[in-house]
Amino acid sequence: MTHLWQFLHLVAVVVWVGGMVFAHFCLRPAALAVLQPPQRLPLMSAALGRFFALVGASLVLLWGSGVALFVRLASTGGKPPLSWNLMAAIAAVMTVVFLVIALRLHPRMRAALAASELPKAAAALDGIRRLVVLNLALGLLTIAVATLGRVLN
């Protein structure tokens, strides 16, 4: 069962971190190059809305599989390695950042678009972009801890 939890955990990481890489380095530059704000902002809002739904599901999977792995280890009398605790701490920060994006900034962007207030929508999107960059850096740090952190244990 441990291998299944690890697999699910990794799939959720790939969806979240890989999605941030795609959105920031592929979708955003392409939209900037091809579309004007009246078309670009609704596209980004719609794409991000779909992505945030996937991230929400990934978070359930990440936290569920992570807790399951911690519980399984504890049930055998094992102690979690330092890298696991670091991953969990970084994941908690990333989760809070995601919640700010999905529950505060993205609704603000959608409301501004509905009111045809493009400057406000653009400002909300810029806030989302900044926090996605933060979460992307934290996600890469988490992957480094997961793969290279064995030297910490």
pLDDT digits (tens, 9 = 90+) for 45-73: 999 999 999 999 999 999 999 999 999 99
pLDDT band at 149 (very low <50, low <70, confident <90, very high): confident
pLDDT band at 6 (very low <50, low <70, confident <90, very high): very high
Q: Is 28 exposed, middle or buried (0-12, 13-18, 19+ CB in 10 A)?
A: middle
Let me know the angle formed at the C-alpha of 132 by 123 and 52, rounded to the nearest 5 degrees: 95
In the chain, count of helices (H) and strands (E)? 6, 0
DSSP 152: G
